[in-house]
Amino acid sequence: MSEIVTAERAPIAFAGSALDRADAVRTSPEQLAALMGPRARLLRLNGLEPRIDADGALDWGSLAEADLDAELIFLGLDAVGHGCFVAAPPLGDASTAPPGPRLWQAMAGLSPGDLATYGAARSLAGWHARHRFCPRCGGGTVAARGGWQRDCINPACKAEHFPRLDPVVIMTVEHDGDLLLGRQPRFPKGRYSALAGFIEPGESLEEAVAREIFEEAGVRVAHVAFVASQPWPFPSSLMLGCHAIAKGRDLVIDHTELDDARWFTRAEVADAMAGAPDAAFGAPPPHAVAWHLLDRWLRG
């Protein structure tokens, strides 16, 4: 598969898996069974966290290691056509907390392809662990279509459920050559980043961007443009990166959402992205799509 990059810069984290998703295989029990032979690969996890092998790559084993009662999720085919799987964790063993320093340290040495494969596996495995019961009738559910679906086992219901994906807008805001960035309470000291928020029902991408900017910073925007997207497996979001042009620069900050929001000059953003010791703020890390938004803005 082609690598997803940001204008010949660093690849966007969690995008660009080398596995062939092989959607047609998911609907064929015969093909899935044929792939579950001795050459099949099982992604080893500690709960939902990755295990890293001696070479700094994802740790793979054989299906013989899987618990006999475990639900196996088909991740896809590797470069030589072997089936790749991950086991869904036990009920309740699926944290939705943001990644901490230990998890980022474990992921830091992974190749872009491995990181993307892990991100998909984590999202799917976590969804299975959180959806063992039908939200329609409360009955039990079982994995179907190679783990890309769960079916209610209640014969009076038989509802079909699919992996949940939550769309999130994340956006830089420009006015007269300056950039508006915000600071959330959970950020490390001094860090500022792009504003962000979930898209709500009945709302377009552009409407969500405009609403979130106004709600968090009190700024109205006149133009919204899509820039780049990023899968984010904590627990399972799609970050939709945008750039907006503000009508004015007076701020009314919602302190229930942000500690602070400020306008920064192009020079200040450039210093922050370069890691200058006297920078006006700390830039978002390269694994975040916000880093790519700032990088693209600096390069015009």
CATH classification at residue 115:
3.90.79.20
Spatial CB neighbours of 195, under 8 Å, sequence gap ≥ 6: 170, 171, 173, 180, 181, 182, 212, 213, 216, 217, 258, 261
Question: Tell me, what's the pLDDT at 23?
Answer: 96
| Tens digits of residue pLDDT in 137-190 | 999 999 999 999 999 999 999 999 999 999 999 999 999 999 999 999 999 999
Q: What is the mean pLDDT of residues 227-255?
A: 97
Q: What is the mean pLDDT of residues 275-284?
A: 97
Spatial CB neighbours of 267, under 8 Å, sequence gap ≥ 6: none
Token pair for 100: 């901490």
Residues 214, 92 within the same domain = no
Residues 33, 134 within the same domain = yes
Q: Choose among 169, 180, 168: nearest CA to 297.
A: 180
Among candidate residues 130, 161, 192, the one where a domain is terminated? 161
Question: Tell me, what's the pLDDT at 92?
Answer: 58
Whether the predicted pLDDT of 2 surpasses 50 = no
Give me the DSSP letters along 104-148.
HHHHHTS-HHHHHHHHHHHHHHHHHHH-SB-TTT--BEEEEGGGT
Q: How far apart are CA 259 and CA 210, in angstroms?
A: 20
Token pair for 149: 């679906």
- Domain holding 214, by residue range, is 166-298
Instruction: Tell me if 184 sits within 8 A of 258, measured CB to CB.
Output: yes
The SS3 assignment for 266 reads helix
Instruction: Tell me if 281 sits within 8 A of 269, measured CB to CB.
Output: no
Can you give the pTM of this predicted structure? Answer: 0.92
Question: Tell me, what's the pLDDT at 94?
Answer: 64
Length of the chain: 300
Extract the runs of DSSP E, i.e. beta strands, from the chain.
41-43, 45-46, 49-50, 60-61, 72-77, 83-87, 141-144, 149-152, 160-161, 166-175, 178-183, 195-198, 221-232, 237-246, 260-264
Q: How far apart are CA 283 and CA 270, in angstroms?
A: 9
Whether the predicted pLDDT of 53 surpasses 70 = yes
Q: How far apart are CA 208 and CA 187, in angstroms?
A: 23
Q: Partners of 41 in the beta sheet? A: 84
Sign of the C-alpha dihedral computed for residues 99, 17, 3 and 78 taken in this order: positive
Confidence of residue 95 (pLDDT cuts 50, 70, 90): low
CB atoms within 10 A of CB 131: 19
Among candidate residues 108, 134, 161, the one where a domain is terminated? 161
Up-side HSE of residue 62: CA atoms within 13 Å toward CB? 4
Q: How far apart are CA 43 and CA 62, in angstroms?
A: 8
Domain contains 9: no
Among candidate residues 161, 190, 224, the one where a domain is terminated? 161
Q: How far apart are CA 177 and CA 247, in angstroms?
A: 13
Domain contains 16: no
Q: How far apart are CA 160 and CA 164, in angstroms?
A: 12
Question: Tell me, what's the pLDDT at 89?
Answer: 86
CATH number, domain containing residue 234:
3.90.79.10
Domain contains 18: no
Q: Give the number of domains in the chain.
A: 2
The DSSP symbol for 282 reads: B
Question: Tell me, what's the pLDDT at 9?
Answer: 63
